[in-house]
Structure 1
Amino acid sequence: MIKTNITHPELLSALAKCGHKAKILIADGNFSFVTNSNPKAEIIYLNFAPDMLNAIDVLKGVTELINVEAAEMMTWPDDFENTIYDEYVNILPEGTPISHQPRKPFYDQIKSTDTFLVIATGEKRRFANLLLTVGVVK
Structure 2
Amino acid sequence: MSDQAVLNVLTALTKAWNAGDATAFAANFTEDADYITFFGLNTPGRTAIEEGHRALFAGPLKGSKLTGTGEPPKIRFPLPDVAVAVVGGNSTVEGHEPDPARDSTITYVLVREHGSWLITSFQNTRRTPIPGRPS
TM-score by length of 1: 0.26
Structure whose residues are more often strand by fraction: 2
Larger relative contact order (Cα-Cα within 8 Å, sequence gap ≥ 6): 1
For normalisation by structure 2, the TM-score amounts to: 0.27
